[in-house]
Structure 1
């Protein structure tokens, strides 16, 4: 447990084709032909309603399933929230943001996952990115939207921020994506995307060093000035179980919702090659993500899943 002036602070974690030669001509064997057909078909047994694999370096599709079907994305939304913040011209990641009661009221009202922010604490933009992307804090997402939106009320500022999210989606060629939320809690079911569009977003986001640093973190400890003048320590763990479990995993973001199902945008790096994957509405998102990465890397990985600390949101 963390402590503030002797008082306990809740700990959050916040989830080859072979050939044979004959008569100087390369003639594929039956085994090689079968292997080629299997490779063309992609990884087997993927239960996701939609899925996508991208070779990040050349920005090339490796495999897709229902990649252009519009689907709810839940907290995967927060990837775009982070991108809009980080792509803001002249963004100051060390700018301090005061936690407002409105952010806490929103969590109470919506039932969203929280970074457990405390009213009056002053966290930097960088710290809020950790609080949003690791434990999937909707309070941290609202703080960022309120800070980077425009208008004279929180409602107007967060609405303008969502407009920025949609403009960024258009700029990135995410033609089948629409946001009506800064965190994935959609009141009008107009918060949707596709597996292909999310791969585009991930490809763009991984070009930012701060984003890469945050999403590859299994956990973090962040100190912030508290409302009473002392220092509060926040402990956050990533909801992404691939981190620390799958060799080479470097992110990215989970999401879970009643309509969205279980989702994850993931990435791994091996031998200098980065592969991005997306699964939407998949009850077996982690085993399927592993199958997809293994297929992309032509390997087979035995995984012992990292246990999330008690209190980590199940996103």
Structure 2
């Protein structure tokens, strides 16, 4: 939320102490460009409820009320950074533009080999198993399976390169002008791509508007009984916010380049709060910070 007057010295000191450095506007992305060097953000006005704002140590963050459009918190929201497995939100979103949840995809040896060769998180899919798109989305979003990402991108590009091109085209359509994808899983191949906290919040909103994806991202566990087409599977969500009031997911991520990332959301009262943290150095702290931001923003809605 931006006021038209400049902060007073006292309020500015309060905002800096709370870690609430606000966003800047980045220049348009070049294809496969690496994130630029961090820059100094211009000072913007703090929310009216800044006095009890949680400390946010992550380098970039953005939290909004998706119901009203109100920005509750913004810190370097337009700074381009790698986002790791938050990339899989776009993979899931694009798949459901092209497929039905009941469609089926056969897992190939290439899907399994691709994921295991890069050291990515996997859903332990088995070559030769045929799974529904919905079950592959659970494999993609809960354990963050790069094998599921490869299988879906290969099937619905058709071909991974074509699928990634559609990811970038979809980003433009969603207004994510500071986002470039180079693969379907967020691993640092080919430079790893980049996005911003603001763009990823916009994507998380779009993901949660799809009933299938809202159901998937909100699931703490998912089990797939064995059938004649596939073996049994059991996946646990890596998002430790699930189980807290109103939590909806959305996605976790980590690479050395990106640090720990988190897209999070919760329905609180009449509001849907959506946020993103990028570049956190501590895995547990990202969940603690997100929970504190959700509580703080929800309290502000009641004011």
> Is the shorter-chain TM-score for this pair beyond 0.5, marking a shared fold?
yes
Larger radius of gyration: 1
Distance of 2:68 and 2:235 partners within structure 1: 34
Match of 1:292 in 2: 293
Given that 1:67 and 1:195 are in contact with CA atoms closer than 8 Å, whether structure 2 keeps it comes out as yes
Q: How many residues align?
A: 253
Q: Structure 2: where are the runs of 5+ without partners?
A: 1-13, 15-45
Tell me the SS of whatever aligns to 2:114.
helix
SS of 1:232's equivalent? coil
After superposing the two structures, state which structure 1 stretch, 230-239 or 206-215, moved more.
230-239
CA distance in 2, matches of 1:230, 1:212: 26
Distance apart, 1:271 and its partner CA: 1.5
Superposed, 1:150-189 pairs within 5 Å as: 150=158, 157-189=159-191
- Taking the TM superposition and a 5 Å limit, the aligned residue runs for 1:115-154 are 115-150=123-158
Q: Would you identify which runs of 4 or more consecutive aligned residues in structure 1 move more than 6 Å?
A: none
1:255 aligns with 2:248: no
Once the two structures are superposed, residues 156-203 of structure 1 have per-residue CA deviations (whole angstroms, 9 ceiling, x without a partner) of x10100000000000000010000010001222241100000011111
Question: Which protein has the bigger strand share?
Answer: 1
Q: CA deviation at 1:43?
A: 2.4
Residues 83-122 of structure 1 show CA distances to partners (whole Å, capped at 9, x for unaligned) of 101122xx22211111100011112210111100011111
Instruction: Name the SS of the counterpart of 2:260 in structure 1.
Output: strand
Aligned to 1:20: none
In structure 2, which of residues 207, 210, 215 is the aligned counterpart of residue 208 of structure 1?
210
- Residue 291 of structure 1 and its aligned partner are, at CA, apart by 1.4
CA RMSD of superposed structures (Å): 1.8
Query: Which residue does the alignment assign to 1:223?
Result: 225
Are 2:74 and 1:64 aligned?
yes
**Aligned mate of 1:192, from 194, 210, 225:** 194
Q: Any unmatched runs of 5+ in structure 1?
A: 1-33, 151-156, 300-315
Normalised TM-score (structure 2)? 0.80
Report if the CA contact (8 A) 1:123-1:224 is conserved: no
Cross-structure match for 1:241:
240
Q: 1:58 to 1:101 in 2, by over 3 A?
A: same
TM-score between the two structures when normalised by the length of structure 1: 0.77
**Which of 1 and 2 has higher RCO (CA within 8 Å, sep 6+)?**
1
Relative to structure 1, the CA distance from residue 37 to residue 109 in structure 2 (aligned partners, 3 Å threshold; closer, same or farther) is closer
